[in-house]
Structure 1
Amino acid sequence: MKKTLLWFCLLAWCTAVQAQQDPLIDPEEGRTLLERFTKGGKSISSSSMNLQFYTSAAANFIDGELDEAAFKINGVRLELLGDFGKNFSYHFRQSFNKYSNPRAVDNLSSSVECAYVDWRMKPHFTLTVGKQAIQLSGYEYWVNAIRVREFSDFNNYIDCYQAGVNGAIIFSPTQRLNVQVLNNSAAKGSDSFIYGLPEGVTKVKVPVLSTLNWDGYFFDKGLNLRYSASWGQLAGKRDLLYLTAGNVWEKGPIVAYADFMYSREGIDTKGLISELSAALPDGGVTAQHVNYFTTILNFDYRVHEHWNLYAKGAYELGGVYKKNGPYEKGLYRRTWNAQLCAEYFPMDNSELRIYLHLLYKAHGLTSRARALEADDYTSQRISLGLVYTIPVF
Structure 2
Amino acid sequence: MKTINNIKSRLFCFIVLFIPIIILAQEQGEDPLLYQSIIPMSKQSLLKDVDVIFNTRFSFNSKFENGDYEKSVFSVDQFRLEIRGKIHEKVSFRFRDRYTRAPKIGSQDNINRTTDIAALFIDFTPRTKFSMGKLLADLGGYEFDMNAIYILEYNDILDNSDHNLTGAGISHKLKDSRNTFMFQILDSRTNVLKEQYDNIVPDGTIESKTALAFVSNWHGTFFGGKFETSYSYGFFNEAKNTSMNYIALGNKFKSNKLLLYYDFKYSTEDLDRRGIVRKLVKSDDASKDVVYVENWLRAEYRVQPKVNLVLTLMSHSSYWNSNPDVNACNKLYTSYGLIPTVEYYPFKDLNLKFYLGYIARRYDYSSYAENAYGLEDKNTGRLSFGIIAPILVL
Q: Matched residues in 2 for 1:344 and 1:194: separation? A: 43
Among candidates 251, 262, 270, match of residue 258 of structure 1: 262
TM-score by length of 2: 0.85
For residues 84-103 of structure 1, give each alpha carbon's deviation from its aligned partner in whole angstroms, at most 9, with x where no partner exists. 22211111111111121110
SS in 1 for 2:195: helix
Contact 1:52–1:75 at 8 Å: present in 2 too? Answer: yes
State the match for 1:392 in structure 2. Answer: 393
SS in 1 for 2:348: coil
Distance apart, 1:117 and its partner CA: 0.9
Among candidates 165, 170, 178, match of residue 167 of structure 1: 170
SS in 1 for 2:347: coil
The count of aligned residue pairs is 358
* Amino acid corresponding to residue 162 of structure 1 in structure 2: L
Among candidates 192, 201, 221, match of residue 217 of structure 1: 221
For residues 127-182 of structure 1, give each alpha carbon's deviation from its aligned partner in whole angstroms, at most 9, with x where no partner exists. 01111111111111111112211111111111111110011021132211101111
Evaluate the alpha carbon distance shift between residue 322 and residue 315 of structure 1 in structure 2; reply closer, same or farther with a 3 A threshold. same
State the match for 2:94 in structure 1. Answer: 91
State the match for 1:12 in structure 2. Answer: none
List runs of 5+ in structure 2 lacking aligned partners: 1-18, 30-44
Distance apart, 1:203 and its partner CA: 2.1
Contact 2:149–2:388 at 8 Å: present in 1 too? Answer: yes
Contact 1:95–1:111 at 8 Å: present in 2 too? Answer: yes
Identity across the alignment (%): 22
Residues 1:144 and 2:147 are matched in the alignment: yes
Q: Matched residues in 1 for 2:234 and 2:324: separation? A: 24
Question: Equivalences for 1:230-241 in 2 at 5 Å?
Answer: 230-241=234-245
SS in 2 for 1:202: coil
Distance apart, 1:267 and its partner CA: 1.0
Contact 1:184–1:232 at 8 Å: present in 2 too? Answer: yes
Distance apart, 1:194 and its partner CA: 5.1
Evaluate the alpha carbon distance shift between residue 324 and residue 170 of structure 1 in structure 2; reply closer, same or farther with a 3 A threshold. farther
Question: Equivalences for 1:203-352 in 2 at 5 Å?
Answer: 203-278=207-282, 286-324=286-324, 328=328, 330-352=330-352
Contact 1:116–1:131 at 8 Å: present in 2 too? Answer: yes
Residues 1:363 and 2:363 are matched in the alignment: yes
SS in 1 for 2:149: helix
State the match for 1:376 in structure 2. Answer: 377
* Amino acid corresponding to residue 390 of structure 2 in structure 1: T
SS in 2 for 1:242: strand
* Amino acid corresponding to residue 152 of structure 1 in structure 2: N
Q: Matched residues in 2 for 1:355 and 1:295: separation? A: 24
Contact 2:343–2:353 at 8 Å: present in 1 too? Answer: yes
TM-score by length of 1: 0.85
State the match for 1:8 in structure 2. Answer: none
Distance apart, 1:59 and its partner CA: 1.1
More helix per residue? 2
Contact 2:84–2:95 at 8 Å: present in 1 too? Answer: yes
Residues 1:48 and 2:48 are matched in the alignment: no
Evaluate the alpha carbon distance shift between residue 67 and residue 121 of structure 1 in structure 2; reply closer, same or farther with a 3 A threshold. same
Q: Matched residues in 2 for 1:363 and 1:134: separation? A: 29
SS in 2 for 1:107: coil
Higher relative contact order (CA 8 A, sep 6+): 1
* Amino acid corresponding to residue 115 of structure 1 in structure 2: A
Report the more deviating stretch, 369-378 or 100-109.
Answer: 369-378
Residues 1:123 and 2:162 are matched in the alignment: no
* Amino acid corresponding to residue 233 of structure 1 in structure 2: N
Q: Once superposed, what is the RMSD of the aligned Cα atoms?
A: 2.3
SS in 2 for 1:369: helix
Contact 1:34–1:392 at 8 Å: present in 2 too? Answer: no
Q: Matched residues in 2 for 1:66 and 1:221: separation? A: 45
Contact 1:197–1:286 at 8 Å: present in 2 too? Answer: no
Q: Matched residues in 1 for 2:125 and 2:328: separation? A: 52
State the match for 1:27 in structure 2. Answer: none
Q: Matched residues in 1 for 2:112 and 2:327: separation? A: 35
Contact 1:204–1:236 at 8 Å: present in 2 too? Answer: yes
Evaluate the alpha carbon distance shift between residue 137 and residue 34 of structure 1 in structure 2; reply closer, same or farther with a 3 A threshold. farther
Contact 1:187–1:234 at 8 Å: present in 2 too? Answer: no
List runs of 5+ in structure 1 lacking aligned partners: 1-31
Structure whose alpha-carbon radius of gyration is higher: 2
* Amino acid corresponding to residue 311 of structure 1 in structure 2: L
Evaluate the alpha carbon distance shift between residue 110 and residue 34 of structure 1 in structure 2; reply closer, same or farther with a 3 A threshold. same
Contact 1:193–1:286 at 8 Å: present in 2 too? Answer: no
Distance apart, 1:193 and its partner CA: 2.3
